[in-house]
Structure 1
């Protein structure tokens, strides 16, 4: 999955915690008497394919930064939500424990350039992680970049970063207030000084240096003509920036003005001989691949893969021989060798498709390291260049693996391992000997062995076998049901694998069960699993999630009165849809930054890319499928709904906050019972990335207090 493609997705939110065990839930008079803000209902009704579609809250799509009526509505909603949350018991205790759990060292996977080791680190409660460098593996760390000094509210973050091949400079991207827009700057490593270079309007971009370090390739859009946080992103192109020059002097490398909807990402091969350009028109892993020979300044672009039918992800290269991970004739991916020395590329298979799903691959130390998903948990296999298995990298249990970046001749690489009760540990891998040693392991205030991690399989509505992780304290009494938090995503070929979150741990520490359902629409079992949960098959994803809840109840793990659900982005859509379809199944719901209006998602920022998973609202068959489950359009006039706390942010330019604004307004207008239906709107935040630690702790304290109250979870001091 290329960076450009990943960045276009409505992303998932990592983590979903829970609290402790308690008595049965019930609504109080305070819960029933919430006075929601008055929200103006417009008279917008549009006929689509013979259907009169009402959109009374169309005006809430307007930008909160410029529309005073929307801004006043946001302030009024936040005031009501804040007042309600203040009444919930245990919020202070939750905040205090979250702060303790979050206070552990977090180190990123190192990037090595000429004996310089670059990596991010957070000492625990720093709002933003900082960038360090070491001279040699065991050298003394030296601080290079500290984003915590960039703004008063710590909402300005360092996003993408990449050292030059000789390690003398670092190009890094600045993300302000959670937006997807980036400003790229350059740091001189020796002096620690930031150069004058400043590149604006970069978005959904990587940074790939020329081998000689003279500059780098990046992706950018034309400067928006107003509405920079809402307008559609079109006409992306690849540019080359020469260090020490103004952006106006950047060289246009590759563009497709005849196809303005395409996005483009570029990377230089390890030997510096080729520029590889990936072009796509949506979120699917379907690319055209174009190469430009960098040995000659006159080399013209040459397309080696056309048609945008399959995934092509470069694992590495040896001269004119490229190694690609691809789903060509392999729904669960395989590795092929492509010889580009002739006029037409010649492809041969290196590693055949496996029963497991091949998630990533890289050429390091003269071998291929292939990272597989085996029933939604990772397994890293080391193979010779002919595809024969050498070894399987040892890891400490069920979890997720990432990393193994490097070049063909590198003697070492690094990878990260994490699981639900194990914070990320960074490992050093010796490419020659196969030795695995710890590079950075955090000290934590809990014992991972005190938690049980298991995987179960359950049947969905159509009999499909679906995996689910269930995690809780090992000493939890299995003879009684407990408050549970079920998390899901189910889209865009994204796999839900085990990951650590201090917030999730807090939920389990208090006695809650945490479950992650690997529903269709994700990538856990390759293209077929993805296809089975998207477009007109989207209902399968909802059915899978509903069946996961039914399984947890049927097995006595939880009860209807104790079950909460959460999902973010596409997962917010998931939560909104299943609450409409089965409101009786859940006690509480937390839809975050969700895609809630399925008839207008393609009109804003990156939304146009999502037609690969959702379909086209202006095509009749797609419209009817979308209209049938669109969360905003399927809220009934009356009913008995679970407690709902919607979350979004004012600077979210991935899934614009109008989705959540309209959805919350519709919930509050309907007569849906006595439980609260509130919205929490963060300021100076976006879709999720770059958020300060303090902001995350505050939000999770609110979320856990809310669902703790409605699932009967006892928080410390309030049992």
Structure 2
């Protein structure tokens, strides 16, 4: 799904076990001798206040830091930079920072990861990423030879901070369209490269949001793309609104590109496929089919899907037939031949795979029939971020990813016979890559575990065999002493919530250990199994890292998502806080030794816990967090969130949006825990002023004397694309901060 305020993953790193064990011993020695920091005697730069009170639906909402809002706000930017400088000074003085930096940078610099693999015409396209870079686009030829197609570090005309957010090879593999982000804003320039020479073809379109790539025609003569609107044509000056779908023919000027669809009103509007201004038009042109699949996408889980012929779809004013609309609870779709495949949560919360014959002129959703028998606890719905598809048409068959208890498998459905086959998995784990190409047989797959590095394969249906891509990641250190325990917590209303606890095998359950508990809980996105050495290093030293699979996510299907969505957002907060109590009950930690960590939309969880339950845990880390949703209509990407959080401008939605707003729930004269807020100065998904307002107000309200710090990154945005070294530096700061704020483990 696109345009979401999403969390982000820290990529794995490599490190030598001998050197790592020495560093861990040094850090552990420092931590054991370190008392919790005393109350701060100096203060970060103060923030002025203004006398602003909104009166909405009979409720008065004081907003003393309203001045921080708005784009190109020089005063706020200067204040935020000063905050970052203050925090940097305080972090650099923490006793364990240097040891954490040495440990995490070591595993970072020794790591090379491979991601976003695509197999086209015997060639493997992929991103190779090391510590210092954001990822280089590579190609492996059929003979095994590898070469660079594009290294964004060479694009020095934008200060050397470019990254590749997406790439799309043409169906024959002769060209590749690359989304290039300059500066972490996720606003990209889409440029086409000739694969043989590696040189640009001269075909360039911009600006394009970084989650939208080129949608190639089967013959490769052109592609459709979703373009951001000019600044004077955006609703509320929101760059994410009023996007338009355009058609580019290779070798022609981009200015001549026709408008096929658009969100909102204006050039490109299509009466047969009207799209709200805060949604996004997109399209697919499946190879071997006469049909095009049009998509009306948003941050909501369900999407609209419409069809027309490919011949008509490339022309302005095409007549579309909409099969799935809002309320039909269709979350994914794909086409092969004349068959439209749909994943629906209407009758089954965990998802149902339907097939519809498009050759029937009057075919509608009611004519779709179920084609995949599933057990009650098997789940087809998957809203996790990454290179994974739910329904994946290949040339030979339809492949479907099925999850059960966090473990992924693949089913193969023969196009002609409808026979369902379970593909044996090479190891037990979760898929971080599952992708097909409708011009190729089989699929690409990558699996990983909590303590198992990712391994990747290409499945060949002719031999029913998995062939290694030769890109398996080795563990950067010995984590054989670490294991994951799957259990449950019991939330305030009695609901049983899955809880994953990663810990040393020899841990003493005496409550003496520092712990971190992570949650997200939005958009139906599951917290999936992941191998992250930057987190395992925390555990290796005797700490605990836990994951609360709170309501609002998708771990138990769409019903689980709805149970924590909108008016139910408080349940996700209750789940997260109950996870702290569960860790204490089981003896892993104690509340005062436990910290919460969450990012992006997860800021509503961690921020909500800070203001609603400040006494139930020891500290919180909030990364690029959503913290003031009552004002989301006033920020870029805000209107896109209405489908998930509600529209604060509506009387029906306002009470629940206010209830989930951490900034507006801050109370004076309360002893709040220590909080560090992490923000990228170029964030286009969640406005940095949400962090600034929350921090400033929390400081004036707290009586605890505990620090409220803002950590800034001048070269980062929302954290979607960044170097491994930057991630290692961030977690070194986090761990050093928590060492200082959480009571030391008992001797």
Q: In which range does the TM-score fall when normalised by the shorter chain? A: over 0.9
Which structure 1 residue ranges, 5 or more long, are not aligned? 1-5
- Aligned counterparts of 2:181 and 2:452: Cα–Cα separation in 1: 29
- Aligned counterparts of 1:565 and 1:397: Cα–Cα separation in 2: 29
Contact 2:289–2:336 (CA under 8 A) maintained in structure 1 = no
Residue 28 and residue 284 in structure 1: after superposition, are their counterparts in 2 closer, same or farther (change >3 A)? closer
Structure 1 counterpart SS, 2:480:
helix
What residue in structure 1 maps to residue 586 of structure 2?
555
**Residue 115 of structure 1: how far off its partner (Å):** 1.7
Cα deviations by residue, 1:32-58 (Å, 9 ceiling, x for unpaired): 213121210000011112221100101
Which structure 2 residues correspond to residues 317-356 of structure 1 after superposition, within 5 A?
Answer: 317-345=335-363, 346-352=367-373, 354-355=375-376, 356=378
Residue 109 and residue 75 in structure 1: after superposition, are their counterparts in 2 closer, same or farther (change >3 A)? closer
What residue in structure 2 maps to residue 155 of structure 1?
161
What residue in structure 2 maps to residue 3 of structure 1?
none
What residue in structure 2 maps to residue 70 of structure 1?
76
**Structure 1 length-normalised TM:** 0.92
What residue in structure 1 maps to residue 456 of structure 2?
426
- Aligned counterparts of 1:683 and 1:169: Cα–Cα separation in 2: 34
**Residue 442 of structure 1: how far off its partner (Å):** 1.9
What residue in structure 2 maps to residue 284 of structure 1?
301
What residue in structure 1 maps to residue 543 of structure 2?
512
- Aligned counterparts of 1:432 and 1:72: Cα–Cα separation in 2: 61
1:677 aligns with 2:683: no
Contact 1:653–1:687 (CA under 8 A) maintained in structure 2 = yes
Which structure 2 residues correspond to residues 286-305 of structure 1 after superposition, within 5 A?
Answer: 286-294=303-311, 300-305=318-323
**Residue 173 of structure 1: how far off its partner (Å):** 0.4
Question: Among residues 412, 424, 442, which one is paired with 1:382 in the alignment?
Answer: 412
What residue in structure 1 maps to residue 133 of structure 2?
127
- Aligned counterparts of 2:281 and 2:147: Cα–Cα separation in 1: 35
- Aligned counterparts of 2:673 and 2:117: Cα–Cα separation in 1: 45
Question: Among residues 227, 234, 238, which one is paired with 2:245 in the alignment?
Answer: 238
What residue in structure 2 maps to residue 438 of structure 1?
468
What residue in structure 2 maps to residue 370 of structure 1?
400
Question: Among residues 404, 411, 428, which one is paired with 1:397 in the alignment?
Answer: 428
1:12 aligns with 2:7: yes
Number of residue equivalences: 704
Worse-superposed segment, 382-391 or 656-665:
382-391
Residue 423 and residue 296 in structure 1: after superposition, are their counterparts in 2 closer, same or farther (change >3 A)? closer
**Residue 480 of structure 1: how far off its partner (Å):** 4.7
- Aligned counterparts of 1:642 and 1:246: Cα–Cα separation in 2: 57
**Residue 710 of structure 1: how far off its partner (Å):** 1.8
Which structure 2 residues correspond to residues 221-236 of structure 1 after superposition, within 5 A?
Answer: 221-225=228-232, 231=238, 233-236=240-243
**Residue 114 of structure 1: how far off its partner (Å):** 1.7
Residue 282 and residue 290 in structure 1: after superposition, are their counterparts in 2 closer, same or farther (change >3 A)? farther
Structure 2 counterpart SS, 1:197:
strand
Structure 1 counterpart SS, 2:542:
coil
Structure 2 counterpart SS, 1:420:
coil
**Structure 2 length-normalised TM:** 0.89
Cα deviations by residue, 1:385-442 (Å, 9 ceiling, x for unpaired): 45544224324334345313122x7333211112222232212212233212321112
CA RMSD of aligned residues (A): 2.6
Contact 2:289–2:338 (CA under 8 A) maintained in structure 1 = no
What residue in structure 1 maps to residue 95 of structure 2?
89
Residue 365 and residue 247 in structure 1: after superposition, are their counterparts in 2 closer, same or farther (change >3 A)? closer
1:140 aligns with 2:135: no
- Aligned counterparts of 1:16 and 1:551: Cα–Cα separation in 2: 28
- Aligned counterparts of 2:412 and 2:740: Cα–Cα separation in 1: 48
- Aligned counterparts of 2:419 and 2:432: Cα–Cα separation in 1: 21
Cα deviations by residue, 1:254-295 (Å, 9 ceiling, x for unpaired): 235444343211111132532211114552323142333338
Worse-superposed segment, 273-282 or 213-222:
273-282
- Aligned counterparts of 2:348 and 2:96: Cα–Cα separation in 1: 51
Contact 1:564–1:589 (CA under 8 A) maintained in structure 2 = yes
Residue 401 and residue 681 in structure 1: after superposition, are their counterparts in 2 closer, same or farther (change >3 A)? closer
Which structure 2 residues correspond to residues 145-184 of structure 1 after superposition, within 5 A?
Answer: 145-151=150-156, 154-184=160-190
Question: Among residues 188, 191, 195, which one is paired with 2:194 in the alignment?
Answer: 188
Structure 2 counterpart SS, 1:505:
helix
Which structure 2 residues correspond to residues 106-117 of structure 1 after superposition, within 5 A?
Answer: 106-117=113-124
Cα deviations by residue, 1:221-245 (Å, 9 ceiling, x for unpaired): 2211399997253222211111222
Per chain length, whose mean CA-contact separation is higher, i.e. which structure has more relative contact order (CA < 8 Å, sep 6+)?
1
Contact 1:47–1:53 (CA under 8 A) maintained in structure 2 = yes
- Aligned counterparts of 2:686 and 2:678: Cα–Cα separation in 1: 12
Cα deviations by residue, 1:585-627 (Å, 9 ceiling, x for unpaired): 2111001111111211122221112122211212334222222
Structure 2 counterpart SS, 1:572:
helix
Contact 1:27–1:674 (CA under 8 A) maintained in structure 2 = no
What residue in structure 1 maps to residue 558 of structure 2?
527
Structure 2 counterpart SS, 1:498:
coil
Cα deviations by residue, 1:483-535 (Å, 9 ceiling, x for unpaired): 11100001111111111223212211222111111111011111111111011
Contact 1:371–1:379 (CA under 8 A) maintained in structure 2 = yes
- Aligned counterparts of 2:80 and 2:154: Cα–Cα separation in 1: 29
Cα deviations by residue, 1:98-118 (Å, 9 ceiling, x for unpaired): 122222221124312222221
Residue 433 and residue 232 in structure 1: after superposition, are their counterparts in 2 closer, same or farther (change >3 A)? same
- Aligned counterparts of 2:198 and 2:305: Cα–Cα separation in 1: 39
Contact 2:70–2:635 (CA under 8 A) maintained in structure 1 = no
Which structure 2 residues correspond to residues 515-664 of structure 1 after superposition, within 5 A?
Answer: 515-664=546-695
**Residue 361 of structure 1: how far off its partner (Å):** 2.1
Contact 2:293–2:335 (CA under 8 A) maintained in structure 1 = no
